Structure formats: structure tokens, C-alpha cells
Amino acid sequence: METPAVPLREQLTQRAHALGFARVGVARAEALVEEGERLGAWLDAGHHDGMGWMADTRDVRSDPRHPGMLPGAESVVVLVTPFHSRRGAQVGIGAGRVARYAWGRDYHNVLGRRLRKLERWLRDEGHAVRHSVDSRPVFERAWAVRAGVGFVGKNSCLIVPGVGSHVFLSTLVTSAPLAPDAPIREGCGRCTACLDACPTDAFVSPRVLDARRCISNLTIEREDLAAPDLLAQTGDWLFGCDACQDVCPYNRTTPGELDPAFEPHARLGEVDLEALLSMSDERFLEWSEGSPMRRAGVVRMARNAAVVLGNTGGRVHLRVLRETGDRHPAESVRAAARWAVDAIERRARQVEGSSED
């Protein structure tokens, strides 16, 4: 008696779990009409700030069958990888905090290698496929909702019940006709903890984020120096921001098995903020090898370090900040250092004034 063939969908799920993906969902490949309209409105309002590639690829993002993605696509597979850690939320460099997703190795590299194994297997099965780890114009969150792996919270992050929002999303757009999953219900209710916690009031409304005020965008994507009020509200965030996720009740979930690739890397203790102010290009490339922080580049990291020192430092840092304000080759870093000097001196005067009272 022949053994019944295992359905392709079941084989895919088994292989994905064996590679370390925690959740797997499937959606039918079709036009994202409502989601595409919301994306267009968000782009037209300028909420994407300087991330022009999002506007340039809006049509591809709205339909995976677009010539720019995979004509003939039948299914979109969404894979979830948690990057939570048992460590607290204060991991960073010196007094500067780093967003949790960047503590470990670069997820593009780690998950890309795993996805390529699934991609090769699907091709061997006779199906066209393209994989993406935040690297192609794929509307990951929208597909994750359609695939039933989670819902979009009021902070615009995908929330996976039982896992939380500290997750990486990967996708496989394929010609394989796979049985789709059903979406799940949105579960934020009346909670507004994430909106209330944002230091810069970056949320225009629930699920509408203005990147022009978002600390993650300001510290990673933005090339020029933000307005003074935003610099002061950035606090000690050196790279990215987790403020709206740290307060989410769904992130109180006890972490299960942790992926060692995303545990805090030793590089986080190898330098301090002052070292970042004067780091050479060569040293930065060496230090950031295999890290998501490389995306910011040496200039933006130096700029961010100056801002954090302005918000958290004291007179002991004035000398190096003044030198940076006078000598650093990048204007954005010089401007940030000068702002930091003013901020520290202003705080010192306030402390002196209050002590006299």
C-alpha cells in the first residue's frame, strides 16, 4: 500500500519550522486594494519622510503579481521569526540604547540564508518563487495580516499573539497554489499604551505613523539633523527606538526558545559614545560587520552619539563635544555636537540656579 503524499503546504511548514521560523501563514496572491489605498494616502501625506524607495515601488507593493515581483504568483507565504531576548530593554552602547532588533546579527543575512533553502526546495518542486527579508518591495505587514499570523497594532507593528511584536517578517512569493489561512481579529481594544509612550508624538492616529517624527527614522534613515525639539525628545536612543513596543501588553509574553543569532553581540560593549564621535570609516566597517547598525553609517552614528550625550551627558563630555563641533568633517555631526554642548550647559545652569534657591 502506497504512503499518501504529504501536501506541499504541510511540507513547507515542516521545513520552515525546522529552519527556525516560528510561525508560517499563507495568503492568496492578489491585489491589495484597501491596503494599497492606505499606503498611497500615507505616502501622499509625506509620512514616509525621505524614504523615497517606498513611493517609487508603491505599485509593486500593492500586487505581488506585478512585473516587478512575480507575474503568475499564486501564493504569498509569510514566515515569523521572534528576536526577543531574556535581557532587559537597556542594552546599548555606553549610555545610548539600541533597538532590540539590532542587538544581534543582521537579520537580512541570517534569515536570507534560511529562506534561500526554502526557495531552492520550491523550485525543485517545479514552482517559481522569490524570497524577501525586508529587501524587496513586499508589503509584509499587510500579507502577514491576510495570512493570519497576526494583526497590526495601534503602533503600526505586527502583533503575533503568543509571541508579541518583536518579530522579523520574511516572505516567499510563489507560483505554488497553497491553501490560504484566514485572518485573525485585531486585539488592541481600548489600549493606547503605545501611542501614549511615544516620546515624539509620532502617531498621527492609531496605525498612522509619521516617520518625520519617529526616533527610529531619525536615527537610522534621516541624513540631516532633526529639529531641536525632536533632538531633546530622542533621549538616550542611539539607534532605533522600542518605546512603543516596550509598553505593549502583548510583549509581556514569556519568551520561548531563543534564537542565538539575535542575542546581544559583544560589539555592544566594545565602544562608547565618545569613541563613536571620532570613529574612522575603516574602524566602523570593522566594528559593524554583520550588524544592522551598519545601515546608519559612521556619520549618522557619530551624529546620534552627540545627541545622546547632549541629552544624558555632563560637563565631563564638553571638551570632546566642542572638539567634534569644531573639527568633524561632517556638518550634521558638527551641528549635533554644538547642540549637545548647549544642552549640557543649559542643564548645568538650571541645576546651579535651583541649588541657589
Counting Cα atoms < 13 Å in the Cβ hemisphere of 214 gives 25
Q: Report yes or no: 59 and 66 within 8 Å, Cβ to Cβ.
A: yes
User: CA angle 200-223-286, nearest 5°?
Assistant: 110
Residue 83 CA to residue 167 CA, distance in Å, equals 6
Strand partners, 75: 28, 174
- At 272, phi and psi to the nearest 5? -125, 180
Q: What grid cell was written down for 210?
A: 509619521
Give residue for cell 524614504.
Answer: 51
Helix/strand/coil for 37? helix
Asked if 326 is an active-site residue, the reply is no
Residue 266 DSSP class = G
CA dihedral angle for residue 60, residue 63, residue 67, residue 68, rounded to 10 degrees: 30
Choose the catalytic residue: 49, 134, 272, 342. Answer: 134
Count Cβ atoms within 10 A of the Cβ of residue 189 and give its class: 0-12 exposed, 13-18 middle, 19 or more buried: exposed
Strands (E), 120-191: 129-132, 151-152, 158-159, 167-174
Residue 292 CA to residue 171 CA, distance in Å, equals 19
Q: Report yes or no: 158 and 150 within 8 Å, Cβ to Cβ.
A: yes
Query: Among all residues, which ones are annotated catalytic?
Result: 134
